[in-house]
Structure 1
Amino acid sequence: MLLLTRKDVKSISQESWKYKVFHEFESIITDPLKSFPYTLGVAGFAADQLRFAFIDHDVMSASAAEQLAATLQTFVPISRSFGKNTSLVVFFTENRAIGTEGYKDIFWSLLNKLHALDSRQWPATIPRDSNDKDWEFSFAGEPIFVVCNTPSHKVRMSRYASTFMITFQPRWVFDGVIGKNAPNADKIKLEIRRRLHIFDSVSPSPDLGTYGDSDNREWKQYFLGEDNKQQGDCCPFHHHSSAQRPTVQQTGIVQLPIAIHRLLPPTGSVEVQVDTPFRTHTRHQHKTDETLHIVKGEINFQLDGESILCKAGDRLLLPANTPHASTAGEDGCLYVIATRLVLERNVQRREAEVAHV
């Protein structure tokens, strides 16, 4: 998926909703008379380290979730190359006046769908219990702090946007800045709260805290309401076992140039592999995620006593450290390999159909 810089967005037609919502976002975050509270985001915008994406689909549709997943799949592996203060800011067309509770439901529904589309295993260092002090939403193996802004936020303006908006900030952005053992953490927190008192018409939420503190629950900061009523302990996020399994997509793409183009990263390369009839690759595993797009022929993958047959047009999403072997079909197999998980939009998607062997 395409990740846009400030310059890229500025080249969009000024009549487009994308240009308009970005222009408003820019005016808010750079207003010299009313400093935006979240200083890392301000610094990232000034240094052109933020990346932007726009989703036209209905926010509750499967297509919107798949496009969001594909965008994150592109962003996460190369995020460090954008700079220390990077984040991914995603704008949706949704702008109805449905109240913050309505948008809260949309947000958590979308985050759950996003998690279900993640074929990478949940990081071993991040607890699965959302009420653990060290829990953090994660995608593509990366812990990520998530912030939601909506058109219905009128009092807590630090969470306002003219359309539904989600910001994904990798946890490593905070390393050495905010959190335990960060030398200037207290000073930065005080500055953020000072700005919140000025920026918002309501005092800072009691759910705001510091990651890792015993009384902090990170998920409560993702979506803040207009009032300061504290949230309960029932997190709307739920883990999906399918997020840790190999996944097959039926794309229908059997043209080699198109398959290569779809799997190419913004910078880098892919591998084109040809296996002769019945060629076997013995059991092995990779430290990185892999996507294998079958262009011609068939190939049978063996994973922990299970068999997955992939035909032309199929795409296998193989999470890192998944032991597997493969045998090409009677006509051999031609396929493209990318060292990341690349989801195709608007296609049939299923957990890998397996047969015990």
Structure 2
Amino acid sequence: MNIAVDTSAETARKLQTEAVHRLKPNSGLPYWDKAELGSFQAGHLPQWARDGLTSFRRVVLDQRFPCTFATTAERNGQLVYAFAETATEKGDVKHIADAIVAYLDSLADLPPNKVDFQVLVALIKPMMDCPLEEYGTMAQALLQSLHECDPAPWPAEIPTDENDPLWSFAFAGRGLFINFSTPANHARLSRNLGVCMALIISPRDVFDRVAGPTDKGRRVRSMIRERTKDYDDGLPFAPWSSSAYGEGAVGTERSQYVLSDDNETPISLSLKQCPFHAKS
């Protein structure tokens, strides 16, 4: 007697595994560096990934782009890139998690002046007509999924209460500075980095060294705020942005992950409104 076996789930897993494999360079690393993206093998990336990378670079290399650190890092070939088909599928979340771990490991071999500009950019496959609120929901789900598969315990020095002014997301034993940019940010152009949702990741301590709550850091943030206001056509800098980090000002670290297109109403279902849940 022949017994029919439903292999749809197995087929789906196989297809996603193949999709993730296509998004890796020949080195086997889960992210791409300047050399790999400049070689012939980059042509094997799906068209959406190549288009997403091109549009991202076009934005950050614009002389008006407010974050001069990102512009300098891209010009110097110090940004590294990971690509994912979705922000929610298990295989894609693992791929992003692997990229973060590999990226953090790579920093140990770099001198401090290189570490400051070495940033991981994860680009998610574009979605047609996706509203900003839905991007907020996906961002929250991705961070929660990353937390659930974190290979390391939560760092003892970072509060677990996300309302604490010193809280930051942590992964692989290290505090991280993270923000999301989306193609649905039509007014806040500084949070629109092309056709893909972009996840920007760097170590929290590196961000604090460059733009933290110090005299130098305040000057840097002030400069970026002014440039951001001009770039966003006069839209004031978000009151719950990362400028509040560690200073007890309006907003907390989590409230800047996804920013709305105004300064009055947080994004529905964003991290600001749906608290992060620490795993036990």
TM-score class, shorter-chain normalisation, is 0.7 to 0.9
Gaps of 5+ in 1: 242-357
Q: Does 1:4 align with 2:38?
A: no
My pick for the range that moved more, 139-148 or 211-220, is: 211-220
Q: Deviations 1:146-178 (Å, cap 9, x if unpaired)?
A: 110112111111111311211111112224322
CA distance in 1, matches of 2:163, 2:46: 44
Q: Does 1:66 align with 2:78?
A: no
Q: Which has the larger radius of gyration?
A: 1
Q: Is the Cα contact below 8 Å between 1:37 and 1:192 reproduced in 2? A: yes
CA distance in 1, matches of 2:182, 2:165: 27
1:37 is aligned to 66
CA distance in 2, matches of 1:92, 1:186: 32
Task: Describe the SS at the equivalent of 1:143.
Answer: strand
Q: State the number of aligned residues.
A: 237
Gaps of 5+ in 2: 1-28
Q: Does 1:178 align with 2:208?
A: no
Report the structure, 1 or 2, having the larger helix content: 2
Q: Which amino acid aligns with 1:221?
A: Q
Q: Report how far residue 195 of structure 1 moved.
A: 1.0
Q: Which residue of 45, 48, 55 maps to 1:17?
A: 48
Q: Which residue of 178, 182, 185 maps to 1:150?
A: 182
Q: Which amino acid aligns with 1:90?
A: A
Q: Does 1:211 align with 2:233?
A: no
TM normalised by structure 1 equals 0.62
Task: Describe the SS at the equivalent of 1:102.
Answer: helix
Identity %: 27
Q: Is the Cα contact below 8 Å between 1:10 and 1:19 reproduced in 2? A: no
The 4+ residue runs of structure 1 with deviation greater than 3 A are 230-236
1:223 is aligned to 258
Q: Which amino acid aligns with 1:45?
A: E
RMSD: 2.0
1:164 is aligned to 197
TM normalised by structure 2 equals 0.78
2:8 is aligned to none
CA distance in 2, matches of 1:79, 1:29: 22
Q: Does 1:126 align with 2:161?
A: no
CA distance in 1, matches of 2:212, 2:46: 42
1:46 is aligned to 75
